[in-house]
Structure 1
Amino acid sequence: MTVRRTLPQRARSLIGAWCFVDHYGPDDVATTGGMDVPPHPHTGLQTVSWLFTGEIQHRDTVGVVATVRPGELNLMTAGHGVAHSEVSTAGTTVLHGVQLWLALPAAARGVKRDFAHHVPQALEVDGVTVRVLLGSLAGSTSPVPTHSPLLGAELVLPPAAAVTFEVDPAFEHGLLVDAGDDVRLQDTTLERAQLGYLPAGRDRLTVANDGPEPARALLLGGTPYDDDLVMWWNFVGGSHDEVVQAREDWESESDRFGRVEGYVGGTQRLPAPPLPGVRLKPRELHPAATDASAWG
């Protein structure tokens, strides 16, 4: 299955607390076999699952068994440690969606594991359909609590549509284009699978579809992340030593991550890869950016 990792990039590691954006599909599961990810660990982050087509069965050590469906937010909090599995359902023919991570602030990295589900209601703004996953936009607020100021919203734009949102000037923003090859963020044109970026400091933000076909995009935002951040494999921590300890705890099958019950597969847990032979360094948090930019 082809996965496009649009964040982190060499140019930028985060947009607010959004530290990881994987964009996959449309994927014909009859050809590829779909998704089958055995139990694996996370620390120091929250996972955000959002589908456009298909279904995924999620199992975790919170004790949750949930079906991830299009238009429904599923947010899992790792905190000190969690494990989960992800398997596309037997009825899925085309799998298409995004998997995103939120880096928890240092003060919240030790919170208990948790899971939240929310079905955002669609609203229309200047002909654009908006679904607010997290935070607030266009008068709509998600009830799902977050550990730092955040925004996550799906936008569906008909041809020639344009919308201007009032946004928090303390937020930096990103726009991931899922469908459409002529989507504009401010004055920057984005193609499908590209991620546009806007630095903090503006209170209005314009998104337009200049193409002849409908477009779909995810708008992400948040206040710039200011804590030390080390990301390696499935772990987020504040230092090299924190990540080393998390790996050791997973490999030793400690109680830190718990056990995923009910997963049926040949591999019952993903082993952690070997650590590199150097100390892991914190990410560069705020590289210079003065205006809209794009990468894919």
Structure 2
Amino acid sequence: MKKYVMAGAISSILSYQACVLAQENQSKSDFSKQSYFLDGFSRNNLDQEKVALSTHASRLVVQLATDYQQGMAIDWADYLFSEKLDGIRAIWTGDRLITRQGTPISAPSWFTDDLPDYAVEGELWAGRNRFEHVMSVVMDDKPDDMEWGSIRYMLFDLPNQPHDFVTRFDALVRFVDQTAAEHIQYVAHFPALSESHVQSLLTKVDQNGGEGLMLRKMTGGYDLGRSDNVLKLKLAIDAEALVIGHVEGKGKHEGRMGSIVVKTDDGKVFKIGTGFTDKQRGTPPEIGSLVTYRYNGYTKNGIPKFARYVRIDKSKQ
């Protein structure tokens, strides 16, 4: 039986501070003290050839998380959890950096020089509540060295490798530990002890401005498309919709946008009037743009409840 060891002391109940909250300010050496390791695994066991990522209609087919529903029948001992980072998911194919949609990312050469000659996957991230900053830096065709200095490549998987997640992640940790590049790090993972344990951490993540948690099945392979091997937990749900109209504001918002009218993939039409800054109301998302909104459940008519604006998804236009 494979033995799993957490470097450092193991607590029966992992504190939030020890697991999640500190991640934003940790250095690479700090990360290596916390990660999950697999004894006796040699990185040489991995196929070191460049991995050809599966493509379909010019879009990458990557592993996608399934939304966790409370009460789901899962064995918590089979899963590791990590904080869900609010950045841009990016795949290094072995010779170029691209988004999940296959869009090339014009990163400075120094940013990718230390990446391996096989595929790795992670999040381009600059800390909590800085998605708009990451978007403006990463999606710029003319990379700014100084701006890219604020971006970290937070690795979490090796796509298309024929191994379980713990084996893939262990190899990823070993790679990161061997590179001197401080901007290349890995997302720390920890044991999911129970549903109540994870739900309590999820609440604390939300209170501290985090986006949510991810659960990865330790024995899970890298499935292409939606998979139960990766579960996504959020107190509120994010979704995307197409902007089809603007509604003029009233009262304090007179003379600028009061709300946007959006349409979901399943044809639901509704207004979103909260979540905007004054500046965003002056220059609202254009008709035809794709926006992310956040909501808490549905009305009896199937309309998202308490829908509020989050951002424009320029990477998916």
The structure with the greater share of residues assigned to strand is 1
The structure with the greater share of residues assigned to helix is 2
Say yes or no: TM over 0.5: no
Relative contact order, CA 8 A, sep 6+: which one is greater? 1
